[in-house]
């Protein structure tokens, strides 16, 4: 009986280890399946936080935009940010989205700041992007110039095309992209 | 007994021999295009894949999906036809494009079409998406434009003129007075057709309206026109308020009436000042391209469709509102080289036929207020439900309030305030048209697209056959297909 319980416990524990979110790229990923009309969008995020405490971003949210589906059936994707997504040297988050081809709205980034009484920030983006079938596109660098830790929402400052340096770093962080062609596209 | 068994076997054989070929293809190859894109296997949501295929350059897949959806002959048939029309024009199939645009034209302009579906969408429980698609005013305008152009190219001049006049009428179905009938292109085509039919006075009238529409929608004036529309709306509100107060006339209201009169005076001065600025701009705007456009000696119209049309999507807590956005397209200018010899540059093109501008200045339909009502109802019932649910946990040991709360919540969930976001997404962002004289025969055109810095970003070579008539039309789409 003890053995059975132990096996069940082990099975549950190991399930957690291999449970990878299918909507993002990961460091250890060795293959990228873009069949069935799936595609990838890549972008970076920079937050200038001169005055406040350290910022920990944990996830971002993307919402499906599809005029042909009822509003209450549209997908909402909460996408986690893993340690490999943050590059401390560049102070940049390297974000990826792997979804079915279609139109999506990048809603916001969510996270925490270390001062105990500060509000958990939500970085509001509200920008549309496309996922094309079997394509990997770089969309740009989102820039928040002044994070206000006292405010619930901070708005986006600018979007820049820094594809040359960002794509190189993406390939370094996610080896699965190494030999893949990455095109440029934009948020709108 | 045996006879009955034989009859049953025979009947089974006949039925199976009829049914089996129907399923045979599916059984042999469930992934074949014929099966995958058959109407029974396609759903409305698959149109998104077709849309993305179109913008990724996979026209074949996009065509299969839209054709399959069209074959369902459902309440979205006019939408599928419009999408297919844009696809066919891109593929250089004007005849097929004309057929599908014509089908849409009939449905979009028939007030009795889908009447039952429209009535049901006004109720609180059903969604606006269930009604038949007829399009926003800007979509009707552009459907009329394409029908008109393709009929014009077919030498059906009277029907072409009727289509352009219909487009002008659709363009007047907007809330803001200043945005009524500002699609210069429709007036210019009407002018051209009247000139071809030797109706000089009608042509003069249309050209005058074309010039006014061109000034009104010119980028230099857009902000000023928007300011003027805002001031006119305020003036209208204040004037109504003044009339109400004056009708009640008493000593107490005298101060309010005087304030309103002062506000009205100020608004009138501000409107005059904006009008003067618009007038000043108009004097600087060149209208040579308009005159070239209507010149009947120019026997060819080259329509360059650029980028991707406006995207309409739902916002608000319950998706009860829709807004438009647009994906920027880098090409701003074009050049055409004819037979490797003559080059025509940006100056000759009729520009500012901006679909996003037309879409975003045409709000305030009756349906929006109905949707607003639905959202308020949903909010109220949701609030009542939450309060009752909380109360039931504290005060209702017998669960009476819980049952009521559940019932209210069910109504709230069934109430459907989602705004209709269906739109003609394969429309281009802008149309640039040039009117030229080309000798009859075959010509090779090389069209280059340039960005704001003057760098060539897309290029296309096409062979065209110019007939010995004055109504040749060529369409070329630049949609920024990613390589």
pLDDT tens digits, B147-165: 999 999 999 999 999 999 9
Q: B259 and B228 in one domain?
A: yes
| Residue position matching structure tokens 């281009």 | B428
What is the distance between the alpha carbons of residues B420 and B447, in angstroms, rounded to a whole number? Answer: 38
Q: Would you say residue B462 lies in a domain?
A: yes
Query: What residues in A contact B314, CB-CB < 8 Å?
Result: 71
The CB-side HSE value for B187 (13 A sphere, CA atoms) comes to: 24
Q: B321 and B256 in one domain?
A: no
**pLDDT surpassing 50 at residue B83:** yes
- ipTM above 0.90 for this complex: no
What is the distance between the alpha carbons of residues B229 and B303, in angstroms, rounded to a whole number? Answer: 31
Q: B397 and B482 in one domain?
A: yes
Specify the pLDDT at position B394: 41
State the DSSP string of A142-187: EEE----TTSSEEE--EEE--HHHHHHHHHHH-GGGTTS--EE---
In angstroms, how far is CA A173 from the centroid of its own chain?
14
pLDDT tens string A73-109: 999 999 999 999 999 898 899 999 999 999 999 998 8
Q: Would you say residue B478 lies in a domain?
A: yes
Burial class (CB in 10 A: 0-12, 13-18, 19+), B2: exposed
Burial class (CB in 10 A: 0-12, 13-18, 19+), B157: middle
Query: What residues in A contact B419, CB-CB < 8 Å?
Result: 71
Contact B355, B309 (CB under 8 A): yes
Which position has the higher pLDDT, B89 or A113? B89
Q: Would you say residue B315 lies in a domain?
A: yes
What percent of chain A has pLDDT above 70?
Answer: 79
Q: Would you say residue A175 lies in a domain?
A: yes
What is the distance between the alpha carbons of residues B244 and B247, in angstroms, rounded to a whole number? Answer: 5
Q: Using pLDDT thresholds of 50, 70 and 90, give the confidence band for residue B172.
A: confident
Q: Would you say residue A167 lies in a domain?
A: yes
Q: Would you say residue B36 lies in a domain?
A: no
Q: B395 and B360 in one domain?
A: yes
Find the angle CA(B138)-CA(B142)-CA(B148) to the nearest 5 degrees: 145
Q: Would you say residue A36 lies in a domain?
A: yes
A67: nearest CB among B52, B328, B421: B421
Q: Of A119-133, B51-65, B129-143, B180-194, which gets the smallest average pLDDT?
A: A119-133
Q: How many residues does chain B have?
A: 483
Specify the pLDDT at position B158: 96
Query: A22 φ, ψ to 5°?
Result: -75, -5
**pLDDT surpassing 90 at residue B23:** no
* Domain extent at residue A33: 23-184
The alpha carbon of residue B318 is apart from the nearest alpha carbon of chain A, in Å, by 8
pLDDT tens string B265-275: 999 999 999 99
Neighbouring residues of B417: CB distance < 8 A, sequence distance ≥ 6: B318, B319, B320, B371, B374, B375, B377, B378
Q: Would you say residue A62 lies in a domain?
A: yes
**pLDDT surpassing 80 at residue B306:** yes
**pLDDT surpassing 60 at residue B219:** yes
A183: nearest CB among B53, B425, B482: B482
**pLDDT surpassing 60 at residue B73:** yes
Q: Is the dihedral of CA B278, B283, B285, B290 positive or negative?
A: positive
| Residue position matching structure tokens 């206000």 | A148
**pLDDT surpassing 90 at residue B4:** no
What is the distance between the alpha carbons of residues B118 and B309, in angstroms, rounded to a whole number? Answer: 26
In angstroms, how far is CA B204 from the centroid of its own chain?
29
Contact at CB, A186 and B326, closer than 8 angstroms: no
Contact at CB, B418 and A105, closer than 8 angstroms: no
Q: B326 and B277 in one domain?
A: no
Q: Would you say residue B465 lies in a domain?
A: yes
The alpha carbon of residue B275 is apart from the nearest alpha carbon of chain A, in Å, by 33
Specify the pLDDT at position B362: 62
Domain boundary, last residue among B284, B306, B332: B284
Contact at CB, A69 and B55, closer than 8 angstroms: no
Q: Of B115-119, B129-133, B316-320, which gets the smallest average pLDDT?
A: B115-119
Beta-carbon neighbour count of residue B358 at 10 Å? 23
Residue B324: strand pairing partners: B312
Query: B477 φ, ψ to 5°?
Result: -105, 130
Contact at CB, B311 and A65, closer than 8 angstroms: yes
Specify the pLDDT at position A8: 64
Q: B314 and B460 in one domain?
A: yes
Specify the pLDDT at position B250: 79
Q: Sheet holding A122-131: strands in order across?
A: A76-80, A55-65, A102-113, A122-131, A153-155
pLDDT tens string A101-149: 999 999 988 887 665 655 666 788 899 999 999 999 999 999 987 766 6
Q: Would you say residue A155 lies in a domain?
A: yes
In angstroms, how far is CA B271 from the centroid of its own chain?
31
In angstroms, the first-to-last Cα distance of chain A is: 59
- Helix then strand then coil, in percent of chain B rounded to 5, is 60, 15, 25
DSSP A119: P
| pTM for this model (two decimals) | 0.81
pLDDT tens string B239-293: 999 999 888 877 778 889 999 999 999 999 999 999 999 999 999 999 999 999 9
What is the distance between the alpha carbons of residues B379 and B388, in angstroms, rounded to a whole number? Answer: 14
Specify the pLDDT at position B283: 96
Query: A86 φ, ψ to 5°?
Result: -105, 130
A68: nearest CB among B47, B314, B483: B47
pLDDT tens string B362-372: 643 334 444 44
What is the distance between the alpha carbons of residues B378 and B414, in angstroms, rounded to a whole number? Answer: 9
Specify the pLDDT at position B147: 98
Which position has the higher pLDDT, B79 or A112? B79
Q: Where are the alpha helices (DSSP H) in B124-179?
A: 137-153, 157-171
Tokens for B112? 């009795």
Q: What is the mean pLDDT of residues B225-237?
A: 90
Contact A95, A44 (CB under 8 A): yes
The alpha carbon of residue B325 is apart from the nearest alpha carbon of chain A, in Å, by 7
Structural domain count, chain B: 3
What is the distance between the alpha carbons of residues A143 and B242, in angstroms, rounded to a whole number? Answer: 49
Q: B359 and B459 in one domain?
A: yes
Contact at CB, A128 and B49, closer than 8 angstroms: no
What is the distance between the alpha carbons of residues B324 and B284, in angstroms, rounded to a whole number? Answer: 31
Q: B431 and B343 in one domain?
A: yes
* Domain extent at residue B23: 1-30
Q: What is the mean pLDDT of residues B394-420?
A: 53
Q: Would you say residue A9 lies in a domain?
A: no
**pLDDT surpassing 70 at residue B382:** no
In angstroms, how far is CA B369 from the centroid of its own chain?
20
Q: B325 and B271 in one domain?
A: no
Residue B403: strand pairing partners: none
Domain boundary, last residue among B254, B284, B314: B284
What percent of chain B has pLDDT above 70?
Answer: 79
Specify the pLDDT at position A10: 57
Contact at CB, B425 and A67, closer than 8 angstroms: yes
Q: Would you say residue B121 lies in a domain?
A: no
Structural domain count, chain A: 1
Specify the pLDDT at position B269: 96
Beta-carbon neighbour count of residue B395 at 10 Å? 9
Q: B450 and B475 in one domain?
A: yes
A183: nearest CB among B328, B425, B483: B483
pLDDT tens string B96-107: 999 999 999 999
Specify the pLDDT at position B181: 67
Tokens for B185? 């292109």
Contact at CB, B45 and A68, closer than 8 angstroms: yes
């Amino acid at each position: 009986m003890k053995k059975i319980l132990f096996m069940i416990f082990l099975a549950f524990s190991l399930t957690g280890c291999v449970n990878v979110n299918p909507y993002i790229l990961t460091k250890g990923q060795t293959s990228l399946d873009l069949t069935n009309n799936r595609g990838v969008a890549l972008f970076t995020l920079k937050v200038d936080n001169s005055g406040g405490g350290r910022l920990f971003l944990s996830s971002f949210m993307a919402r499906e935009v599809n005029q042909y589906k009822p509003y209450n059936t549209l997908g909402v994707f909460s996408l986690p940010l893993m340690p490999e997504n943050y590059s401390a040297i560049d102070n940049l988050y390297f974000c990826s989205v792997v979804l079915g081809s279609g139109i999506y709205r990048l809603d916001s980034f969510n996270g925490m700041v270390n001062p105990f009484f500060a509000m958990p920030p939500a970085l509001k983006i509200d920008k549309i992007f496309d996922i094309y079938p079997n394509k990997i596109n770089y969309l740009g660098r989102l820039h928040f110039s002044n994070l206000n830790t006292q405010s619930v929402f901070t708005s986006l400052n600018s979007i820049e095309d820094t594809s040359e340096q960002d794509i190189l770093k993406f390939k370094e962080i996610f080896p699965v992209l190494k030999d893949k062609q990455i095109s440029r596209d934009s948020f709108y | 007994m045996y006879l009955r068994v034989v009859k049953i076997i025979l009947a089974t054989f006949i039925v199976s021999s009829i049914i089996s070929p129907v399923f045979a293809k599916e059984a042999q190859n469930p992934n074949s295009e014929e099966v995958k894109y058959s109407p029974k296997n396609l759903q409305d949501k698959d149109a998104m894949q077709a849309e993305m295929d179109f913008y990724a350059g996979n026209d074949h897949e996009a065509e299969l999906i839209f054709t399959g959806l069209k074959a369902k002959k459902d309440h979205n048939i006019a939408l599928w036809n419009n999408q297919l029309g844009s696809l066919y024009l891109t593929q250089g199939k004007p005849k097929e494009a004309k057929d599908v645009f014509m089908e849409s034209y009939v449905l979009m302009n028939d007030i009795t079409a889908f009447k039952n579906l429209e009535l049901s969408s006004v109720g609180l429980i059903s969604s606006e998406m269930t009604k038949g698609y007829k399009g926003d005013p800007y979509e009707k305008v552009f459907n009329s434009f394409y029908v008109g152009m393709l009929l014009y190219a077919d030498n059906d001049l009277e029907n072409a003129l009727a289509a352009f006049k219909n487009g002008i009428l659709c363009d007047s179905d907007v809330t803001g007075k200043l945005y009524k009938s500002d699609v210069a292109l429709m007036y210019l085509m009407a002018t051209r057709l009247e000139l071809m039919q030797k109706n000089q006075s009608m042509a003069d009238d249309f050209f005058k309206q074309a010039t006014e529409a061109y000034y009104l929608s010119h980028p230099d004036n857009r902000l000023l026109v928007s300011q003027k529309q805002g001031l006119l709306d305020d003036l209208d509100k204040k004037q109504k308020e003044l009339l109400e107060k004056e009708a009640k006339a008493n000593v107490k209201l005298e101060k309010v009436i005087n304030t309103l009169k002062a506000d009205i005076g100020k608004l009138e001065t501000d409107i005059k000042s904006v009008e003067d600025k618009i007038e000043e701009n108009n004097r600087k705007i060149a209208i040579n391209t308009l005159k070239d456009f209507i010149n009947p000696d120019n026997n060819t119209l080259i329509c360059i469709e650029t980028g991707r049309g406006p995207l309409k999507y739902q916002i608000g807590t319950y998706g009860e509102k829709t807004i438009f956005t647009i994906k920027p397209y880098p090409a701003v200018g074009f050049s055409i080289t004819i037979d490797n010899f003559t080059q025509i540059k940006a100056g000759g093109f009729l520009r500012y036929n901006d679909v996003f501008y037309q879409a975003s200045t045409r709000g305030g339909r009756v349906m929006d207020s109905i949707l607003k009502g639905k959202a308020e109802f949903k909010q109220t019932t949701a609030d009542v439900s939450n309060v009752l649910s909380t109360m039931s946990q504290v005060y209702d040991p017998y669960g009476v309030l819980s049952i009521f709360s559940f019932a209210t919540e069910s109504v709230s969930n069934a109430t459907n305030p989602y705004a209709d976001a269906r739109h003609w997404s394969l429309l281009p962002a802008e149309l640039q048209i040039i009117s030229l004289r080309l000798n009859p025969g075959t010509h090779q055109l090389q069209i280059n697209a340039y960005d704001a810095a003057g760098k060539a970003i897309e290029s296309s070579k096409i062979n065209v056959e110019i007939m010995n008539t004055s109504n040749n039309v060529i369409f070329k789409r630049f949609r920024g297909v990613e390589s």
